[in-house]
Amino acid sequence: MSSELADQAEETAKSEDGPPSPATGGDGRPGARGFTEALLDAVTSGNTVTVTVLAFLCAIFLGGLIIAFTNTTVLHAWGNLFSAPGKAFATAWDTAAGAYVAMFEGAIVNPHAVSAAFHGGPVSTVFNPLSETAVNATPIILTGLAVAVAFRAGLFNIGAASQFIGGAMIAGWIGFAVHLPFILHAAVAVAGGLVGGAVVGGAVGFLKARTGAHEVIVTIMSNYVMEYLLLYLLGLTAFRRPGNPNPISPPIATNAVLPHLFGSTLRVNVGFLIALAAAAAVWWVLNRTTIGFELRTVGSNPRAARSAGMSPERTWIVVMLLAGALAGLAGAAVVQGTNFNVAPQIYGTYTVDSITVALLGRASPTGTVLASLLFGALRAGGVTMQASTQVPVDIVTVIEALIVLFVAAPPLMRAVFRLREPRAGGGEQLEARGWGG
C-alpha cells in the first residue's frame, strides 16, 4: 500500500475528528493530555485503515513463520539448506500456506464442498464454514460491544468474563430450572442473562462512582471472583447435574434453546441475530439518545461534562450496566445457542478477545462487529486447521495478540513499512495512562 494512500486515510480520519481539544487533561496535570480524551482520539479515529491492514498482514506473516519453523519436515529441510536451498523454502512455504488454506476452508468456504454440492452433495456443507464463523463471532461481538461502549465513556472494561459468567449463570438456571412454553422460555432466559451481566457490570460502575476504585483493577479481580463463584455454584446440588460427578449444570430445556436459523445442520442460531441487533442498538444509543451523548461527553472530558450539568458518576454506573448487559447477553447466547449447559471454563478467552476486537474496531459498533467476524473466522478456521494439518489451534491466539500489538503501535508499522508520519502529531494511537486515571 502506498504512503500517499496512507496519508489520505490519515487525513480522512483527522477531518472527522472535529476541532482540536484543549491541551490540559481531565486529571488537572498541565501539559499532560487527559487520558479519556487521548483514549477516545486513539480508539475512535486513531489507527488508520492502513495500519490495521498492515498489522493484520504482519501478524499473518509472523504466524506463518512460527507454523513453518516448528514443523519437523521444514526444520529438516532447512538443515540441508546449502545442499537444497529451493526445497528448504518450498517446504516452509507449503507448510504455512497449507495451514492458512485449511483455515480459510474452515472459516469461509471449502472448494471441495462446493464441487460436491454441484454433484448432488448436501448444500448445507457449503455454508457450514460461514455458519461456524458466525457462531464463533456471536459472543465476541457481544463482549466486544461491552468493552467498546465502556471505552466511549472513558472506562476500560477488562471484566467481560465476569459479566459473561453472570449472564450465563442466570440464563442457564432459568433454562434448566424453570418450565415455560417455547419462545417465551428462550426470551425469559435471554433477559435473565442480560440482567445477570448488568448486575456484575453495574457493581463495578457503582464502586467506581462511589469510591473511585479503579475499574481496571476491579474488573480484573471480578473475573476471578466470578470464576470461583461459578465453580462454587456448580458444586451445589441446585446447580449440579444429578448423577454426574463433574461440575456441570443440567442441560437446559429444549424450549429455552435458541432456534437455528437455517435448519439443524448449521449451528448458526438466533444468538447471531441478537448480537447484530445489539450492535445496532448500541449504535443508536451512542448516536441518537441523550444518554449516549452524555456518555460520549463524559468520555471526552469529564470536567466539561460536569460543568455542563452532567454527572460522570451516574454515567459510569449507566455505562457499566449497559456493558454488563451486553456481555451477559453473550453468556446467554453461548448457553442457549451452542453449549446448552453451564460448565466451568464456559467464559473461554472472551476477556481478551473482547478487548482485542474493541481496539481493532476502534470502539465503534460497526468496527467491533467487523473485527469480531474476523476473529470468529480465525477461531472457526483454526479448528479446521488443527484437524486437517495438525497445526495446533493456539497459533490463532498468537496471531490475535500480534495483530493487537501492531495495531496499538502505529509508529512501529510506519517504521517497518517506511510510511510517512501523519502531519499533526499525537492522537493516532492509544495513549498510555496510569492506575490513577
Contact 113, 320 (CB under 8 A): no
CB of 403 to other proteins, least distance (A): 9
Closer to other proteins by CB, 267 or 414: give it: 414
Q: Nine-digit cell at 361?
A: 474496531
Stretch of 259-267, 324-332, 369-377, 395-403 lying at the interface with other proteins (CB under 8 A): 395-403
Question: Of 400, 419, 422, 427, which lies in the binding site for other proteins, with binding defined by CB under 8 A?
Answer: 400
Nearest Cα to Cα of residue 303 among 13, 111, 22: 22
Q: Per rule CB under 8 A, is residue 395 in the interface with other proteins?
A: yes
* Residues of this chain, 407-436, that bind other proteins according to CB under 8 A: 408-409, 411-412, 429-436
Closer to other proteins by CB, 105 or 215: give it: 215
Place of cell 464441487: 115
CB of 288 to other proteins, least distance (A): 29
CB of 385 to other proteins, least distance (A): 12
Q: Per rule CB under 8 A, is residue 352 in the interface with other proteins?
A: yes
Place of cell 540441508: 80
Q: Per rule CB under 8 A, is residue 405 in the interface with other proteins?
A: yes
* Residues of this chain, 234-263, that bind other proteins according to CB under 8 A: 235
**What 8-state DSSP symbol labels residue 267?**
-
Contact 267, 260 (CB under 8 A): yes
Stretch of 64-72, 116-124, 171-179, 194-202 lying at the interface with other proteins (CB under 8 A): 64-72
Contact 25, 34 (CB under 8 A): yes
User: Read out DSSP for 368-420?
Assistant: HHHHHHHHHHHHHHHHHHHHHH---TTHHHHHHHHHHHHHT-HHHHHHHHTPP
Question: Of 2, 15, 83, 211, which lies in the binding site for other proteins, with binding defined by CB under 8 A?
Answer: 211
Main-chain dihedrals φ then ψ at residue 269, nearest 5 degrees: -135, -175
User: Read out DSSP for 19-67?
Assistant: SPPPSS-TT--TTSPPHHHHHHIIIIIIS-HHHHHHHHHHHHHHHHHHH
CB of 383 to other proteins, least distance (A): 13
Alpha carbons within 13 A on the beta-carbon side of 143:
35
Contact pattern from residue 125 through residue 164 relative to other proteins, giving x for each residue in contact according to CB under 8 A and a dash for the rest:
-------------------------------x-x------
Closer to other proteins by CB, 32 or 109: give it: 32
Instruction: Count residues near other proteins (CB under 8 A).
Output: 55
Closer to other proteins by CB, 355 or 373: give it: 355
Closer to other proteins by CB, 118 or 435: give it: 435
Q: Distance between CA atoms of 181 and 187, rounded to whole angstroms? A: 10
Stretch of 78-86, 220-228, 282-290, 302-310 lying at the interface with other proteins (CB under 8 A): 220-228
Element containing residue 152 per DSSP (H, E): helix 124-152
Nearest Cα to Cα of residue 191 among 207, 205, 206, 180: 180
Distances (CA, A) of 309 to 247, 304, 368: 50, 9, 31
Q: Per rule CB under 8 A, is residue 387 in the interface with other proteins?
A: no
Q: Per rule CB under 8 A, is residue 371 in the interface with other proteins?
A: no
Provide the binding-site residues for other proteins, judged by CB under 8 A. Answer: 32, 39, 66, 70-71, 156, 158, 207, 211-214, 216-218, 220-222, 224-225, 228-229, 231-232, 235, 349, 352, 355-356, 359, 391-392, 394-398, 400-402, 404-405, 408-409, 411-412, 429-437
